[in-house]
Amino acid sequence: MQAARLKIDKVAQSGVPILIQGDSGTGKGLMACFIHNISPDPHAAFVKVNCAAIPGELLESELFGYEKGSFTGAHAAKPGRVEMADGGTLFLDGIDEIDMSLQAKLLQLLQDGQFSRIGGQEDRRVQVRLICATNRQLELQIANGRFRQDLFYRINVVSLQLPALRARSEDIPDLVAYFLQNHKARHNMLARPLSATTFNLLVRHPWPGNIRELENLMERYVILGSEDAISSELLNWEKTHALPEIHVDGQIHLKKVTRQAVHDLERKIILSVLEANRWNRKKTASALKISYRALLYKIRRAGLPPKRGMVHPDIGSVHPSGAVD
Ligand SMILES: Nc1ncnc2c1ncn2[C@@H]1O[C@H](COP(=O)(O)OP(=O)(O)OP(=O)(O)O)[C@@H](O)[C@H]1O
Ligand SMILES: [Mg+2]
Q: Which domains does the chain have, with CATH numbers?
A: 2-161 (3.40.50.300), 165-240 (1.10.8.60), 254-317 (1.10.10)
**What is the Å distance from ligand 1's center to 85 Cα?**
22
Amino acid 114 reads: Q
Tens digit of each residue's pLDDT (9 = 90 or more) over 126-150:
999 999 999 998 988 898 899 999 9
48-62 mean pLDDT? 92
Q: Is the CB of 135 under 6 A from ligand 1?
A: yes
* pLDDT given for residue 263 in this prediction: 85
Confidence of residue 241 (pLDDT cuts 50, 70, 90): confident
Confidence of residue 312 (pLDDT cuts 50, 70, 90): very low
* pLDDT given for residue 315 in this prediction: 36
Of 93-102, 145-154, 252-261, 308-317, the one with minimum mean pLDDT is: 308-317
261-281 mean pLDDT? 87
Judge whether residue 318 has pLDDT over 50: no
State what percent of residues in the chain have pLDDT above 90. 63
Q: Is the CB of 94 under 6 A from ligand 1?
A: no
Tens digit of each residue's pLDDT (9 = 90 or more) over 106-119:
999 999 889 999 99
Please state the pTM of the whole predicted model. Answer: 0.77
**What is the Å distance from ligand 1's center to 14 Cα?**
24
Give the mean pLDDT of the chain: 88
**What is the Å distance from ligand 2's center to 205 Cα?**
22
Tens digit of each residue's pLDDT (9 = 90 or more) over 83-104:
999 999 999 999 999 999 999 9
* pLDDT given for residue 245 in this prediction: 60
Confidence of residue 247 (pLDDT cuts 50, 70, 90): low
Q: Is the CB of 24 under 6 A from ligand 1?
A: yes
* pLDDT given for residue 69 in this prediction: 85
* pLDDT given for residue 64 in this prediction: 95
**What is the Å distance from ligand 2's center to 28 Cα?**
6
Confidence of residue 182 (pLDDT cuts 50, 70, 90): very high
Q: Is the CB of 246 under 6 A from ligand 1?
A: no
